Amino acid sequence: MLNRLARIGGSAGYWLAVLAAGVSLDAVALYYQYALDYYPCVLCIHVRIWVLGFVLVAAAALLVRGSRPLRVLAHLLTVGLSIGLLERAWMLLGIERGTVEGSCSFDSGLPAWFALDQWFPAVFKVWEACGYTPELLFGVTMAEALVALGVVALLVSVTMTVASLAGKNR
């Protein structure tokens, strides 16, 4: 089983799926922002940055998937990205439900050397304070969906990391 998962985790199809999922998530966020006028808070922007990390790691993994050590590194990076995504989504859900004390500012908190909000304001600029997220389908809010997605991403990335370390694939 681990060998089969390792083969899947090393395939172009797997990394293309990760890349496509990341691009799709950011596209949905931009659709909600520009077509439906749901403006992003600082936590939403942080989620977008974590998702961008998945896109970049997946693109790099497509190029280096023939190298087992680099493939393992890519899987380890997705574990870290999943943890970051889940933490930001959990915080967003907590603020939405009122179970987390705190407030969000209009400052992205990004350092000057990584000022995505200044370089690409159409995608990464904070437009409003945290408080609620829009409803998607069947009464599920964006924050709830992001938490579920973060859990799934973490489970898949840990599984693929274990498989890539234990499997006898190249």
If you average pLDDT over residues 131-153, what whole number do you get? Answer: 88
Report yes or no on 170 lying in a domain: no
Report yes or no on 13 lying in a domain: yes
Asked if residues 15 and 62 have their Cβ atoms less than 8 Å apart, the reply is yes
More reliable by pLDDT, 70 or 120? 70
* Residue 143: pLDDT over 80: yes
Containing domain of residue 160, as a range? 2-165
Report yes or no on 96 lying in a domain: yes
**Residue 45 and residue 41: Cα distance in Å, rounded?**
6
Asked if residues 134 and 142 have their Cβ atoms less than 8 Å apart, the reply is yes
Q: CA-based Rg of the chain, rounded to a whole angstrom?
A: 17
What percentage of the chain exceeds 70 in pLDDT? 94
- Residue type for 21, please? A
The number of folded domains in the chain is 1
* Residue 122: pLDDT over 90: no
If you average pLDDT over residues 82-99, what whole number do you get? Answer: 88
Q: What is the pLDDT at residue 164?
A: 87
DSSP the chain: -HHHHHHHHTSHHHHHHHHHHHHHHHHHHHHHHHTS-----HHHHHHHHHHHHHHHHHHHHHHHTT-HHHHHHHHHHHHHHHHHHHHHHHHHHHHHHT-S-----S-----GGG-HHHH-HHHH---S-SS---B-STT-BHHHHHHHHHHHHHHHHHHHHHHHHHS---
CATH assignment at residue 144: 1.20.1550.10
